[in-house]
Amino acid sequence: MPDVYNLPPDVTYHFSSNIDDATGYKTTSILTIPLKTAKGDVLGVLQIINAQDDDKNVIPFTKEDEKTMYHFGGIAAIALVRAKMTRSIIMRMISMAELHDSKETGAHVNRVGSYAVEIYEKWAERRKIPREEIDKKRDVLRMAAMLHDVGKIATSDMILKKPGRLNDEEFEIMKLHTVHGARLFLDKQSEFDEASGIVALNHHERWDGGSRGYPGHIEVETGEPLEGKELNNGEAMPKKGEEIHLFGRIVALADVYDALASVRSYKEAWDEEKIIAILKEESGTHFDPELVEIFLEIFDTIKSIEERYPS
């Protein structure tokens, strides 16, 4: 379109000047390319505005421009198809976990993923991390956090769905879901794989290195303690403080909060005042104290996420 303010009267589309009016920008020429799959389905559009000549004068786009943009549009469409396919696979993995464990609902994992990215963003802003890096990590962390308990698909129904308290032997088996989850992402093909393995493995560690944290310093492939990280009883030494990856520390807090705030088959949702008291009490023991501080700072945002994804 050489001039969007002077479109032919017989066209079936129109131009909205709302953004121009709000920003003071003047749109003249536009080139819009459909982003299509190999089957011809339209995924979206790629649009560029205001071609210029060497003197910076706005001119219409040429046929050569159109060919160039079709080339880039094809590349963009392939990237979108792959991204959609990856997301679909991830969502299917989440659905499998949900079928196996009724606690791992779509609402629960969406809340945990959303809490996690809000905590991370505030943490990163405190450290003046560039916005581009924050945005990149947000997307990776969200999906990794949603898969934090995916390793439970390897846990027996007899244990996972037991109505009463687990005995010691059953609890030891349950704890292995962290290792099973991490093993799913050993063949790292992307930052997402790396983050997902980190979250699965680390979201039950305790900030103070207490014995209730697990699985500790282990070799994921074998499940055995790392060299020099073995306790006298043969178990792996728990991780402590910043030995626990940031993503694991964040998801630990997000997951526990959501468990306390949600109705489960064995309990009612706790009231807000009681949950906050527990988080403060566990700050510096179970949870990274800075992350608890951040969580309480953004508590209004946390509550809005709960409303967005009701159980």
127 with 23, same domain: the answer is: no
Q: 114 vs 107, 200, 221, 297, 310, CA distance in Å?
A: 10, 16, 30, 16, 13
Asked whether residue 203 falls in the same domain as residue 68, the answer is no
Same domain, 25 and 136: no
For residue range 80-99, what is the model confidence (pLDDT) as tens digits? 888 788 778 777 877 777 77
The catalytically annotated residue of 103, 152, 229, 240 is 152
Given pLDDT bands bounded at 50, 70 and 90, which one contains residue 56?
Answer: very high
- Among residues 70, 92, 114, which one ends one of the domains? 92
For residue 25, what are the contacts with CB-CB under 8 A and spacing of at least 6?
A: 19
Indicate whether 165 and 245 sit together in one domain: yes
**Domains identified in the chain, total number:** 2
Q: Which domain holds residue 282?
A: 101-308
pLDDT of 192 strictly over 70: yes
Give me the helix-helix angle, 299-308 and 289-297, nearest 10°: 70
**Same domain (yes/no): 160, 56:** no
* Domain end marker among 26, 61, 92: 92
Which of 92, 121, 147 is where one domain is finished?
92
Checking if the pLDDT of 65 tops 90, the result is yes
Same domain, 132 and 264: yes
Based on the fold, state whether residues 153 and 272 are members of the same structural domain: yes
What is the CATH classification number for the domain harbouring 295? 1.10.3210.10
pLDDT at residue 17 above 70? Answer: yes
Average pLDDT over residues 215-235: 93
Please report, for the domain that includes residue 71, its CATH number.
3.30.450.40
Q: Is 152 a catalytic residue?
A: yes
Q: What is the pTM of this model?
A: 0.77
Tens of pLDDT along 100-147? 666 656 788 899 999 999 999 999 999 999 999 999 999 899 999 999
Q: Are residues 164 and 53 in the same domain?
A: no
Question: Is residue 249 predicted with pLDDT exceeding 80?
Answer: yes
Per-residue pLDDT at 85: 81
112 and 246 within one domain? yes
CB-CB contact of 123 with 291 (8 Å): yes
Residues 200 and 185: beta-carbon distance below 8 Å: yes
- 117 in the same domain as 83: no
Q: Which of 120, 111, 108, 109 is nearest to 294 (CA)?
A: 120
244 & 188 share domain: yes
Half-sphere exposure of 260 (CA within 13 A, CB side): 16
Tokens 């464990």 correspond to what residue? 101
Whether residue 263 sits in one domain with residue 204: yes
